[in-house]
Structure 1
């Protein structure tokens, strides 16, 4: 069956994806993931490794409902791994009290999951670079991704968040950062860079003033999905669209 799946993936690399479950025996967690291959898999090998992005969804959104992001990254040559963080039986995400303190266990658990999935896939996909990962995360998925970068891991060099609101962006200067912001809710104090920090870290902050936090998924309007994809592609090509966009 695995051989047949691989043949299908190679035959149709543009939209090819594989669903699987990786089992973390130590934590007794069965983690669903979706692996999407780049458009041109023939260019990815041990000598010329292609980039890898880990995609983390917002809380309550299925991990595979960001296909507009996966497709854009696949076309840019990325292997994309979309990861389901919340599993049946997990505690609900806190909505009252000190949210940073109350949600920190969720973010720690998600950061551990990202590290586990990397360890599980790295040897299997030798044509891809798991030592320079790009983390992409919407809302709580962006908080998880930021949390892991703040741990000072050595295997990630790029962070892209879609309107995450709780965990501060990394200030180490070792990661390239893009944060795309919606217009309906502000981030908590200290989460985003000050203007001086943005310049110091050469970060890119893009505001879509007419967008909504919950629309940054496959269910959002086409104009927003196209705008996010454009901002993301510009960023990975070394350009920042700018500070404010309607």
Structure 2
């Protein structure tokens, strides 16, 4: 896995006025086989609040192995800090809207450098706030997204679209806000995959989590995305940490 670090300029509609978006670009080992005629897939990875894209190396390695170019944002909050004395939900939703624009800018800035990859059918992966920002991007740019993996995002509604295949992996110690998760009827209609890992904690869905938890997350992702070139978007079973 070859990693490149870059900064993508981004104009924020916040008091920050202007900031650069740091990203790590992880090139798959089969990059020589990727061409404009037969482009390889792209995954955009967004971290949780207070974390960076580098904190999900177990996900990045797995996606690289499957042939994905992984573009990992190093921040999903746009440098904005939460006010713990104010309503958290609205703050996180506002951050997700800013981060959606950040994702768009990163994609546009990176695509010109890697034309041998498929930028028209993106996989979005996000944990917590990163999942919320990915869900917001999917709502803002539905034609650019083909699939979305949410690691226990809780504030922004997951896509309800026949054109976007969704896997959401749920922790045991959190509850999503009303309307975020599709109901049973919607899951059947859109094919949304909801996988519960009993005994798992929201904050552990990253490199610092247990090896068992990470293995179960990777298993769910593998089941969802296999085979790599033409995923079946199958749903793994619920599981439990021992």
| TM superposition score normalised by structure 2 | 0.90
1:166 match: 155
Is the contact between residue 35 and residue 79 of structure 1 (CA under 8 Å) also seen in structure 2? yes
- The structural deviation recorded for 1:148 is 1.2
2:235 match: 240
1:55 match: 45
- The structural deviation recorded for 1:240 is 1.1
Q: What is the total number of aligned residue pairs between the two structures?
A: 230
- Write the distance in 2 (CA, Å) between the matches of 1:143 and 1:119: 20
Q: Structure 1 segments of 4 or more deviating over 3 A?
A: 94-100
1:23 match: 9
2:229 match: none
Is the contact between residue 19 and residue 32 of structure 1 (CA under 8 Å) also seen in structure 2? yes
1:39 match: 29
Bigger mean CA deviation after superposition, 162-171 or 97-106: 97-106
- The structural deviation recorded for 1:21 is 1.5
2:102 match: 113
Aligned CA distance change for structure 1 residues 152 and 96 (closer, same or farther; 3 Å): farther
Is the contact between residue 93 and residue 106 of structure 1 (CA under 8 Å) also seen in structure 2? no
Instruction: Please list, as runs of the form range in 1=range in 2, the aligned pairs for 1:7-156 lying within 5 A after superposition.
Output: 15-24=1-10, 27-86=17-76, 90-95=79-84, 97-156=86-145
1:7 match: none
- Write the distance in 2 (CA, Å) between the matches of 1:178 and 1:111: 19
Is the contact between residue 44 and residue 127 of structure 1 (CA under 8 Å) also seen in structure 2? yes
What do you get for the CA RMSD once the two structures are aligned?
Answer: 1.7
Is the contact between residue 18 and residue 34 of structure 1 (CA under 8 Å) also seen in structure 2? yes
For residue 53 of structure 2, give the secondary structure of its aligned residue in structure 1.
coil
Gaps spanning 5+ residues in structure 1: where? Answer: 1-14
- The structural deviation recorded for 1:104 is 2.6
| TM superposition score normalised by structure 1 | 0.88
Gaps spanning 5+ residues in structure 2: where? Answer: 227-231
Within the candidate set 209, 212, 215, 1:220 is matched to 209
- Write the distance in 2 (CA, Å) between the matches of 1:49 and 1:63: 24
- Write the distance in 2 (CA, Å) between the matches of 1:19 and 1:94: 30
- The structural deviation recorded for 1:86 is 4.7
2:175 match: 186
Is the contact between residue 94 and residue 103 of structure 1 (CA under 8 Å) also seen in structure 2? no
- Write the distance in 1 (CA, Å) between the matches of 2:66 and 2:40: 10
Is the contact between residue 121 and residue 145 of structure 2 (CA under 8 Å) also seen in structure 1? yes
For the pair 1:201 / 2:186, whether they are aligned, the reply is: no
Is the contact between residue 100 and residue 167 of structure 1 (CA under 8 Å) also seen in structure 2? no
